[in-house]
Amino acid sequence: MRNWLLPEYIEDILPAEALAIEATRRRVLDRMLVHGYQLVEPPMLEYVESLLSGSGGDLDLRMFKVVDQLSGRMMALRADMTPQAARIDAHLLNRNGVTRLCYAGSVLHTVPSGLTRTREPLQIGAELYGHVGLESDLEIQQLMLRSLSIAGITQIHLDLGHVAVFRGLVKGAGISNELETQLFCALQSKDISGLRDLCDQLDKITDKKVRHALMLLPELYGDKKILEDARKLLPDFPEIQTALNELESVASELSPLVDTLSFDLADLRGYQYHTGMVFAAYAKGCPNAVALGGRYDEIGKAFGRSRPATGFSMDLRELSGLVKPAPYPKGVLASYKKSDKSLDKEIERLRSEGQIVVINLSGHQNDQDALDCDRQLVMDQGVWKIEKI
């Protein structure tokens, strides 16, 4: 075995891309900060129970787990920073009003979430706690779209969904928890045949309109006409009507910010912890969603405080693959001169201005090409000047 080989779906990031990712991270965080989102840095490693809190078990199989040698308890490397942000809001900050938090850091997955994805995403995101209205949903989604624009994603397709549509059908029909889970799995996998078989079991416990509505959900995907169809075809349950009104309201505000917008009333991603509107952004050239988010009002219960919450996250490493990175910036070459105060002063001045200055160490004068410099410092009549190489 070659010792330098990395595990599957784990990659090094080389200089040009690494610099581009870091520059994007700074720009996105700066945007979040001026919107009032405060930066937090949760630990990479926590007890398993804390990292799973509120996630409905979705993360359990995605986390690397180890035994803590100090306590004997099971610990895990985080697979998502959202539960950590919720813990900080509920348990550490403990504020009564609205709290806005942002974060950026690596997460680890036991298996990649897609064929082209890494097992070490660089997750960046924002979460808003303490507000239950549409204004916070809209704020988070607008911030996500602006963040994607800052990252260089210019053509964005936005998908909007609402888990209350499916939940409204389940509640209105009095469907059992076991059957609800089976229906969810069939809808999530787009298993129409399986969905039909499950709906056949509803004959004795619910009316025909609900069964018909469940079969229709996978087809309720498309432009704003879908909302009109849904109002006509779905039962007139309060939860469903509220959800459709919220989708229509938010879509009218977001349409000018995206190239295309559609609705997916069968989108049950994160159904175990999402409680309201969910959304996903897509970019040209990428089969996966480049940013995901939604409302998750119940996640704080596990930490002792049930707080309304909404947020989004995205992977900077995936975004970098969609934008051609600029060439690594060229530097200024300076010859090594021991105890030359004037040269040291000039080098420090250039570096304070943000210029790259590389000192060509003695014995390596023939290796200048590897230093990636296109200019050099030369002394001209007692003054240091920059000349092209």
In angstroms, what CA-CA distances link 272 with 57, 114, 257? 8, 21, 30
What is the CATH number for 88? 3.30.930.10
- Say whether both 342 and 231 belong to one domain: no
Residue 293, strand partner residues: 279, 312
Strands in 260-264's sheet, in edge-to-edge order, are 38-39, 99-106, 122-129, 309-315, 291-295, 277-283, 156-162, 260-264, 221-222
pLDDT score of 180 more than 70: yes
- Say whether both 85 and 206 belong to one domain: no
Domain count, the chain: 3
**pLDDT tens readout for residues 321-364:** 899 888 899 999 998 888 789 999 999 999 999 999 999 888 76
Looking at 236, 264, 292, the residue that finishes a domain is: 264
- Say whether both 216 and 242 belong to one domain: yes
Quick one: average pLDDT of 232-241?
Answer: 91
**pLDDT tens readout for residues 336-347:** 888 789 999 999
In a domain, 275, yes or no: no
Find where tokens 């609705």 sit. Answer: 263
- Say whether both 31 and 120 belong to one domain: yes
- Mean per-residue pLDDT of the chain: 90
**pLDDT tens readout for residues 107-125:** 999 999 877 789 999 999 9
- Say whether both 183 and 260 belong to one domain: yes
- Say whether both 146 and 8 belong to one domain: yes
In a domain, 165, yes or no: yes
In a domain, 269, yes or no: no
- Say whether both 208 and 341 belong to one domain: no
User: What percent of the chain is modeled with pLDDT above 70?
Assistant: 95
- Say whether both 213 and 336 belong to one domain: no
Domain that holds residue 351: 331-388
pLDDT score of 100 more than 90: yes
In a domain, 278, yes or no: no
In a domain, 271, yes or no: no
| pTM of this structure | 0.90
Query: 373: part of which helix (H) or strand (E)?
Result: strand 373-380
In a domain, 346, yes or no: yes
- Say whether both 75 and 150 belong to one domain: yes
Residue 222, strand partner residues: 263
- Say whether both 141 and 165 belong to one domain: no
Question: Where does 65-198 show beta strands of DSSP type E?
Answer: 65-67, 74-77, 99-106, 122-129, 156-162
Q: Rounded to the nearest 5°, which phi and psi values hold at 65?
A: -120, 145
- Say whether both 234 and 314 belong to one domain: no
- Say whether both 127 and 10 belong to one domain: yes
In a domain, 272, yes or no: no
Question: Which pLDDT belongs to residue 95?
Answer: 87
**pLDDT tens readout for residues 116-169:** 789 999 999 999 999 998 999 999 999 999 999 999 998 999 999 999 999 988
In a domain, 273, yes or no: no
Range of lowest pLDDT (184-188, 239-243, 303-307) = 303-307
